[in-house]
Amino acid sequence: MTDSTQDILPSFRRVVLFPESVLVLNTNANITKVDKQTLEMFGWENEQEFIGKSFSDLIVDQDKENVQNEFQKILLNKNIYGLQCNVKRKDESVLRISLNASVFTDSQGAPQEIVVVIHDITPHLSELEQVREAQKQLSEAQQIANFGSWEWDMTSNKFRWTDEMYRLFSLAPQSEVNNDSLVAYVLEEDREKVKNFLNQSIADGEAVIDYRFVDPQNGSIRWFHSRSKTFYDTNHKALRMVGTVHDVTREKELDQVKTQFLSMASHQMRGPLTTINWHAEMLLNSQSEGLTDTQKKYIQELYNASKRTVRLTNDILTVSELELGRMPFKPEKLSLPKVAKRVLEDYERKIAEQKINLKEVYSENLPDIVTDLFLLKTIFSELISNAISYTPPEGTITLTISVDPTHTNTFLIAIADTGYGIPKAEHDKIFSKMYRATNAKVKVMSGTGLGLYIIKLILQLNGGEIGFTSEENKGTTFNITIPFVPKAVPTIPLRS
């Protein structure tokens, strides 16, 4: 450059976007000119205190060598762009700056002066440090909670995992990952379920899953709970998916201990409760002539209470045995209509008392099903009991058994009622353990909240599924699909 630096400070202020300060150095990097902003930035009162100093004297020791090397090159390269370093103010406080520098030459091209534009980036650095600190705290929190998160940019097919994700999956930090990384060490029985989890998230916008992971380092099996959410463009094209992975092994282990305790307690309770129930029934049937009305009332209440308690105990025992994978499964050929009719006989009295209109619709020439009799009876019992309990007097219950037209070698069992229905906001909770709809609690005081959960677990043993449609105050229809022959009998504990 051959321009004079006589008016260099104001001219630079016009062409440089938002300059913090401008100063001029001679070819030995000593300061010859400064502007007001430079004095304010460095905390000096007048330019005479500043002029004559070596620019190197302003640099902190650890950055000094690097800056000196860059300024030695500037006489050849003519420019420096975006050099960052720490500098000292008059009071010894430190600023982080970014500087650009250019060499001005005489008419023969000999270097005369160096103009330096300095930008104070300390505030921006502080913001960056805050972000880094927040990221550090998030990473520490995720590690404490065994909770990792990930993001999949579906447009570029790029993945981003947090540090805890790499630790959970026993992978080297920042190594290359993709969807296969999520599945690579999943227990074989759960692998297809994880793939379906990703597909469901793309189709429905979100998904939830529990699955088991085999640690490649020590072979231990851990339980992961994962959630995902998908984001779309205006044409509903999937753009991005985010998800979380939570190591819930400890929770699963505690849950199994509780289930084992409930199983043991239920076994121990069932004997005495059955005895109480039997003696109360004997008193009502054979000794009623010698009892006063008050005594009959008390014994009837005792009998009813013991029946409810026996039912609850049996439900808890069934749940615990299913969850622990200890429920015997003895498949045999059975007629669905015959088993249904046998179960309905147990509810004839209750149906008559409530004046319920029961309709049975069975397709002709239905093949036999190959499954466990106790489990099949349990499905029908829970379905029928629920329908009776949540249908007001003189309502209608329709039980239908047919071949599913949409699936090969599969039955369709439907039970429809004209009962209280299920509030729409609670549809996603209805198969949860111990859950009862809010309107059901008001209408019917008794109930364990285990019936539908039991059905769901049993259907997992049979390879079947359950769904429903419901409208509050109009009724509910539960639809069960179950194969003619069970697909497989799991040998591992079931979890929902």
The answer as to whether 495 is a domain residue is: no
Average pLDDT in the 42-52 region? 86
Whether 350 and 243 map to the same domain: the answer is: no
Work out the pLDDT band at 2, boundaries 50, 70, 90: very low
The answer as to whether 258 is a domain residue is: no
Distance CA 191, CA 212 (A): 9
Considering 181, 214, 247, which residue would you say is the last residue of a domain? 247
In what helix (H) or strand (E) does residue 209 lie, and over which residues does it extend?
Answer: strand 206-214
| pLDDT at site 445 | 59
Q: In this structure, what CATH number is given to the domain that contains residue 449?
A: 3.30.565.10
Maximum Cα interatomic distance, the chain, rounded to a whole number of Å: 133
Determine how many CB atoms are found less than 10 A away from the CB of residue 240.
Answer: 15
Q: Is the pLDDT of residue 367 over 90?
A: yes
The answer as to whether 430 is a domain residue is: yes
Instruction: Judge contact between 190 and 211, C-beta under 8 A.
Output: yes
Determine how many CB atoms are found less than 10 A away from the CB of residue 246.
Answer: 20
Whether 205 and 340 map to the same domain: the answer is: no
Whether 291 and 402 map to the same domain: the answer is: no
The answer as to whether 128 is a domain residue is: no
The answer as to whether 441 is a domain residue is: yes
Distance CA 36, CA 135 (A): 38
Q: How many angstroms separate the Cα of 364 from the Cα of each of 337, 406, 428?
A: 10, 18, 35
Q: In this structure, what CATH number is given to the domain that contains residue 236?
A: 3.30.450.20
Average pLDDT in the 480-488 region? 80
Whether 240 and 366 map to the same domain: the answer is: no
pLDDT (tens digit per residue) in 378-433 = 999 989 988 998 899 999 999 999 999 988 899 999 999 998 998 888 888 888 87
The answer as to whether 492 is a domain residue is: no
Q: Is the pLDDT of residue 362 over 90?
A: yes
Q: Which residues contact 389 (CB under 8 A, 6 or more apart)?
A: 444, 446, 447
SS3 (DSSP) at 65 = helix
Determine how many CB atoms are found less than 10 A away from the CB of residue 273.
Answer: 20
Q: Is the pLDDT of residue 339 over 90?
A: yes
Q: Residue 379 is part of which domain span?
A: 331-483
CA angle 57, 43, 86 (to 5 degrees): 45
What angle separates helix 451-462 from helix 293-323, to the nearest 10 degrees? 40
Which one has a higher pLDDT value, 280 or 133?
280
pLDDT (tens digit per residue) in 309-328 = 777 777 777 776 777 676 77
Residue 150, CB-side half-sphere exposure with 13 Å CA sphere: 27
Q: Which of 102-111, 349-358, 426-435 has the highest mean pLDDT?
A: 349-358
Q: How many domains does the chain have?
A: 4
Range with the lowest mean pLDDT among 157-171, 343-357, 431-445, 473-487?
431-445
> Nearest Cα to 51, choosing from 39, 43, 63?
39
The answer as to whether 262 is a domain residue is: no
SS3 (DSSP) at 276 = helix
Determine how many CB atoms are found less than 10 A away from the CB of residue 284.
Answer: 15
Instruction: Judge contact between 321 and 358, C-beta under 8 A.
Output: no
Whether 147 and 232 map to the same domain: the answer is: yes
Whether 335 and 476 map to the same domain: the answer is: yes
Work out the pLDDT band at 494, boundaries 50, 70, 90: very low
* Assessment of whether the complete model's pTM goes beyond 0.85: no
Average pLDDT in the 321-346 region? 85
The answer as to whether 390 is a domain residue is: yes
Whether 175 and 281 map to the same domain: the answer is: no
Considering 247, 279, 304, which residue would you say is the last residue of a domain? 247
Whether 478 and 336 map to the same domain: the answer is: yes
Which one has a higher pLDDT value, 225 or 286?
225
Average pLDDT in the 321-348 region? 85
Work out the pLDDT band at 352, boundaries 50, 70, 90: very high
Whether 446 and 358 map to the same domain: the answer is: yes
Whether 183 and 74 map to the same domain: the answer is: no
Whether 340 and 476 map to the same domain: the answer is: yes
| pLDDT at site 488 | 47
Considering 277, 298, 323, which residue would you say is the last residue of a domain? 323
| pLDDT at site 107 | 81
pLDDT (tens digit per residue) in 139-198 = 666 666 678 888 999 888 888 888 888 888 888 887 888 878 878 888 888 888 888 888
SS3 (DSSP) at 221 = strand
Whether 342 and 459 map to the same domain: the answer is: yes
Q: How many angstroms separate the Cα of 308 from the Cα of each of 61, 70, 435?
A: 82, 87, 17
